[in-house]
Amino acid sequence: MKSSNTKNKRPTLQDVADLVGVTKMTVSRFLRNPDQVSVPLQTKIADALENLGYIPNRAPDILSKSKSHAIGVLLPSLTNQVFAEVIRGIESILEPAGYQTMLAHYGYSKEAEESRIATLLSYGVDGLIISESYHTERVRKMLSVAGIPVIEIMDSVSPPIEQAIGIDNQAAAYAMTEFMIQRGRQKIVYFAARMDQRTLFKIKGYESAMLDNGLTPLCLKTNSASSFTLGAKFLKDALQQQPDTDGIFCTNDDLAIGALYACQKAGIKVPQDIGIAGFHGHDISRAMVPLLATVVTPREEMGRLAAEHLLSRLQGNPVSQRVINLPFQLEAGESI
């Protein structure tokens, strides 16, 4: 019967035990399995728990068993809708399994990635879902030392640390470019923003497809984030650099939609004058007028799969498949 809680700190198991007149071990047993405790005590303990408003404390568990029941998720950005949907997929699996998600983002900066991973690890996360396929040596070291399962998402090409789940961005961009060419487009410009690994892969796919068809690639690039207004700006730039542009392929839907609206404002007919295609297939691309041509990517499923495989690994199963390559889908819409 240790000292009861005099300061108004939040109640501990000891406080509950004191109130009932047992040891905290008995209360602990009740919490894990009420039947381990005699019937009269069950109600008394339940009452005391309710009364004091007891809230469990995970810290001791993390300390002694290194089990936090939390999963770290590290993404480049939280505002990008792509990642919002990935998160939804992840949580749809983790939450029912009793895992808390610890979200962090690094704004596409390698240094920030290092520090975010260190932070997540310092909270004792049981597993990590990270994005991007390139990581610094320090990040790799931290991950190896931490000894927890790690899954990389978004891209399925680079050799994974342990396991990767994503799509083949290069192949997807190649396919859409070919598709546009088949539709008769010749002077297709690529709009790229936020030059991360995935964007570079897409550019590679676009350029290969153009060259393979004897066409000249032209790529507009910026390091800033994509947005509708950037799409509009790129359209202006494209028409200036190549007035007879007849196709635009964008690294994501935002740029495409921005470009499309800019065309509408400028009196350029889509798809008659210029064909426009996006990437990802967000809801809006499937509701707007005209429907946007796009590469539909399985973002939510990617999150789900990553979470499922992570849980499986946490249950002790080995990596079943080092690289899981998810299919993408071309959607013609009405804009090419």
Min dist. Cβ of residue 325 to a copy of itself (A): 25
Contact partner at residue 288 from a copy of itself, DNA, none, CB < 5 to 8 Å by partner kind: a copy of itself
3-state helix, strand, coil in the chain (%, to 5): 45, 15, 35
Helix (H/G/I), strand (E/B), else coil: 148: coil
Which of 24, 183, 204, 221: binder of DNA (CB under 7 A)?
A: 24
Nearer Cβ to DNA (32/316): 32
CB of 122 to a copy of itself, least distance (A): 5
- Least distance in Å: CB of 33 to a copy of itself? 19
Q: Is 47 in the site for a copy of itself (CB under 8 A)?
A: no
Query: Does residue 13 touch DNA according to CB under 7 A?
Result: yes
Closer by beta carbon to DNA, 141 or else 265: 141
User: How far apart, in whole angstroms, are the C-alpha atoms of residue 239 and residue 246?
Assistant: 10
Cα 186-264-299 angle, rounded to 5 deg:
70
Contact between 41 and DNA per CB under 7 A: yes
Is the Cα dihedral 107, 108, 112, 116 positive or negative? Answer: positive
Alpha helices in 70-195 (DSSP H): 81-94, 110-122, 137-146, 169-182
Question: How far apart (Å, rounded) are the C-alpha atoms in residues 196 and 108?
Answer: 7
Among 46, 61, 121, 225, binds DNA (CB under 7 A): 61
Q: Which is nearer to a copy of itself, 14 or 242 (CB)?
A: 14
* Residue environment code for 152-161, b if the CB has 16+ CB neighbours within 10 A, otherwise e: bbbbbbbebb
Q: Which does 78 bind (CB under 5 to 8 A by kind): a copy of itself, DNA, none?
A: a copy of itself
What's the CA gap between 142 and 162, in Å, rounded? 14
- Of 92, 157, 98, 165, the C-alpha closest to 129 is 165
Give the one residue of 103, 171, 219, 268 binding a copy of itself; rule: CB under 8 A: 103
80 binds DNA (CB under 7 A): no
C-alpha span between 10 and 31 (Å, rounded): 17
Q: Which residues of this chain interact with DNA, rule CB under 7 A?
A: 9, 12-14, 22-26, 28-29, 31-32, 35-39, 41, 56-57, 59-61, 63-64
Binding residues (CB under 8 A) for a copy of itself: these are 8-11, 52-53, 55-60, 62-63, 66, 68, 70, 78-79, 81, 84-85, 87-88, 91, 100-105, 118-124, 141-142, 144-147, 227-229, 232, 257-258, 261, 264-265, 283-284, 286-289
